[in-house]
Every structure is written in C-alpha cells, then in structure tokens.
A and B are shown apart, each in its own frame.
Chain A
Amino acid sequence: MQLRSPLLYFLLCLVLAGLIHIVAVLALPGLAPKNAWARLVPLGPTNTMIQIPPLGPGNEVMPMMAPDVRYAFCRFDLAQGPVRLKGSVPNDLWMIAFYTPEGDNFYTVPGADIKSAQLDLVIATGEQTVAEAGVDAPEGADELFVIKSPMSEGVAIVRAPLSGPSRTARAEDALKATICSKLKS
C-alpha cells in the first residue's frame, strides 16, 4: 500500500490532528494537577468550615480570588450521611455556592434569598432522605431546606463581598460563626 498523493497525506494529518485535539480536550480536566479541589484539600479536613485568611500577595489559595471578598469553605463528604450548614448571613450580598470536585457550580443560594438572615440547610445525595436522619426543622421554617448533591463529595463556598471597611469585621465574625457538620453527631 502506498500513499503517494499529497492530498491523502493531508487528509490523514487532518483526521489525526482532529482525534488528538478531541482526546486532549477531554483528558485535560482529569490531568490538571492543580485544579481548585486539589488546592483546597490540603487546607483541612472534610465536614468542617475552614476560613480563608484575608488575601494578600503570595497567600492566595486559588488564582484570581477576589481580594475584597472573604471566603470560607466546607468540603463535604456525604458517605456517612447528610451534612448541615448553619450560620447567620448579615449581608444579602453573600453567596453560598455548591460545587462538585470538578468545579461544577451545581447550586447557589444568594444571601438575598435567605429568610431572616439565618442560614440553615442540609446537603444530601439523591438517595439520602433527611427525615430518616431525624432532624428537626428550624423554628419558623416549614421544612428544612435540602440541597441535593450530584456526587457524594463536593465543596460549599461562602463568599462575603466586603461593602466597606466598617462592615468587614462583622462579615468576618459571621463567617467564623458558620458551622458545617455531619447531621448525625
């Protein structure tokens, strides 16, 4: 078999290049060694709220974080049951965002949607039922707010955008008081 025609070589090259392109794009997310999840894992255990200190040059956890946002996060592991997130939200600019380890932002609760500034929600997988865990709904709420996680692991990030220096201390205190813990404990 001989490929004499330059056109054939050209077509072969194009098809191969296309295949390599597709494989490279699909393989990359799994190969990226320093994705966000890999950066958050060393900072602390699962099912614990971890504060990210005020950002400065050199102490960023992830690239391009907002210097005027305070962050706290909880890597949840639902293998032993649902996880509860509790705290107060002093400013309706806050965002409570939920991600898979791959970085899919599958749910976000804007602070403006939180009634009476009290955050109280449960993260569970599709199969877990919160009623079985025997938890009481918080006072005044019709039912406990449950967020279904597509995976048994993930991360919840609380963002507190700073709205002026006077309110920074209050935001930091509220972030520190936020609790992430297993439902049954």
Chain B
Amino acid sequence: MLDKFIASPSASHVTFRSASTGALSSMRTLLQLIAVFAVALLLGISSARYMIEHGSPLTTKRVGPWASWVSEGNPNSDPYTKAHLARSGRLPLTSTTARYFTANTDSEGDTLTSDCEYSIEGGALNARWWSLAVYDEHGSLVENPSQRYSFNSEEAVSHSDGSYRISLASNARPENWLPSGTGPERNLVLMLRVYSPREVDSSGIGQIADDRLPKIERKSCN
C-alpha cells in the first residue's frame, strides 16, 4: 500500500520527464547529425582538393622540390589525375612522350618568391630537348625587359659534362639569367619539361634519374 502510494507519483513523474527529454534528445540528435554532416563535408572536400592540387603518392612522383604527375594526359589515368588536369587548364603530353616537373619551393622547402635570388643547378638530361621556364603562381609568364622566360637545352650555357647553372633573380646575372621580374613580390613556379627522354621503363614512361633534376638553392633575399 505504501509502496503503491510512493510508486505511482514517481512513475508519472518519470513519464513526464521522459517525454520532455525525448523531444530534447531528438533535437540534440538532429543537431549532432547536422554537425557530423558539416564535418564530413569539410573533410571530404578538403581531402579531395588536397589530393587533386597537391597530389599524393598514388598520382605524383616527388623528388626534392620537384613534383611530376606520372599519368597526366594518359587516357587511362586515375580520377585524381583527370581532375587535376581539368583544373589545370593544360594539355600536357603523356609521360611516354614527355615528362613535366614543377617546383614551387626551393630544395629546402621554402616557397619560391621573386624577392629572393636562387641558383638552379642541374645535371645533363638524357633527352632530345628540355626547357626550364618560370611562371607566376597562376601559370603566366613573368614580365621582364629582356623577354627571357626560359632556358632550353639549345640555349643554356652548359659545362663540358652537360651540367648547367641558371640564376633566377630580379637583376641581371652572368651565365644563364632567368629573370624573376621586378615590382611587387610574387610567388613563382618552375617547370622543367623534358621531351622524348631516351631512357624508358617497361611501360614506355620516360625516366629521369633523381640526381639529374636541378637543385634549387636560395642565395639571398631582399
């Protein structure tokens, strides 16, 4: 009797509470689901963006500051490479015909900028033709009075062993001077294109030995 008396109000109290917490908790669940979706959206988009812009070991080969999208332009390339290509707005040759290497940092990993002077030293490349060009971060050529935007294998002054040194600087330098432009500071991108490499692997992809890719050494900064 006493038990019943105590039990019944507490039972109704429990029912009342569970109804209110039920509404609250479903509200909370909804908010949590929205938060989960927002985080998933952020994670999904940013990871896709990173793998498309920066690349990953699946798609790109990295040697020091140089990156090369190995199956760029190949009809059988993976979705990341296809997305990268569409975004880049370029029409590259496949790696069985030419290899492209880009660098936006020096060999130490610091961003290339027009405020600094760099020495680019590379070994002889076993290929029919190569060219090293400098661009701004949008892929445009850098304005300069001598209208020099690149050095290729026919033009660059090279040493007897085929190695060469290019100075990337705002002001004129001896030997091979690649102007990085004057005016406000800008970030720079270097591209080395190698046409018809003579060494190929079993699938016909042109091979450039790692030690032949140029070292990019920062000399001084403004």
Chain A residues within 8 Å of B, Cβ to Cβ: 2-3, 9, 12-21, 23-26, 28-30, 32, 34-36, 39, 55-58, 60, 62-69, 93, 95, 97, 99-100, 102-106, 108, 110, 112, 150, 155, 157, 159, 161-164
What's the nearest-Cβ distance from chain A to residue B150, in Å? 5
Choose from A9, A24, A157, A159 the contact partner of B48 (Cβ within 8 Å): A24
B147 to chain A, nearest CB (A): 7
Q: Residue B139 at the A interface, CB < 8 A? A: yes
What are 19 residue pairs bridging A and B, where the CB atoms are less than 8 Å apart in the complex?
A2-B29, A3-B32, A13-B40, A20-B43, A20-B48, A21-B44, A25-B83, A29-B85, A29-B86, A35-B85, A57-B140, A57-B142, A60-B139, A63-B138, A67-B133, A104-B74, A110-B196, A163-B152, A164-B154
A95, B195: Cβ atoms under 8 Å?
yes
Interface of A is mostly: mixed
Q: Are B131 and A161 in contact (CB under 8 A)?
A: yes
Chain B CB count within 10 A is highest, among A2, A103, A106, for A103
Contact yes or no, A28 B141, CB < 8 A: no
Interchain CB contact under 8 A, B25 and A2: yes
B79 neighbours in A (Cβ, 8 Å)? 25-26, 29
Q: How many pairs, one residue from A and one from B, have CB atoms within 8 Å of each other in the complex? A: 183
Q: How far, in angstroms, from A69 to B48 measured CA to CA in the complex?
A: 33
Identify the stretch in B4-12, B92-100, B115-123, B163-171 within 8 Å (CB) of chain A at 4 or more residues.
Answer: B92-100
Of chain A, the residue at the smallest CB distance from B75 is A104
Picked from B29, B102, B139, B155, the residue with its CB within 8 Å of the CB of A3 is B29
Establish whether residues A16 and B86, one from each chain, have CB atoms under 8 Å apart when the complex forms: no
Is B143 on the interface with A (CB-CB < 8 A)?
Answer: yes
